[in-house]
Copies of this chain bind each other. A is one copy, B any other.
Amino acid sequence: MVNQVAELDRVFHALADPGRRLMIDRLSRGPASVSELGKPLSMSLAAVVQHVQVLEASGLVRSQKIGRTWTCSINSATLRSAESWISERRNLWERRLDHLGDYLADPAGQG
């Protein structure tokens, strides 16, 4: 439970940066090297590497050395756990609104 809380802290923190979201966006279309990930971003390679490390620490991205190049890819299980956290709360709230709507339409529950 504590681990899951800390994981969600790291995942949402990782997603809060537009450059890192651009990296996830790129990786959703297939694996890429660190330098490819940096191409659309106007920052130094050192800054790109730091962002990749934040993504790795969050569990959103995995890196693997192939030949002389580090290749990054998405870990979809982590994306799914963040998505589920949000969707469970949204569903609870929306179901509550639906019930309230039903009640207002037919307070005696005879419809």
> Once the chains bind, are A86 and B79 in contact (CB under 8 Å)?
yes
B93 adjacent to A82 (CB under 8 Å): no
Q: How many copies does the complex hold?
A: 2
Pairwise interchain contact A18-B30, C-beta atoms closer than 8 A: no
Question: When each residue 7-34 of chain A gets 1 if its CB lies under 8 Å from chain B and 0 otherwise, what string results?
Answer: 0110011011110010011011110000
- Main secondary structure, interface of A, reads helix
Please, how many residues of chain A have a CB less than 8 angstroms from a CB on the other chain? 33
Query: With contacts A8-B21, A12-B12 known, is A83 near B92, CB below 8 A?
Result: no
* A26 CB to nearest chain B CB (Å): 10
Interface pair A83/B79, CB less than 8 Å apart: no
Q: Using CB atoms and an 8 Å cutoff, list the residues of chain A in contact with chain B.
A: 5, 8-9, 12-13, 15-18, 21, 24-25, 27-30, 74, 76, 79-80, 82-83, 85-90, 92-94, 96-97
User: What are 8 contact pairs spanning A and B, CB under 8 A?
Assistant: A8-B16, A8-B21, A28-B96, A30-B96, A74-B90, A76-B90, A76-B94, A83-B83
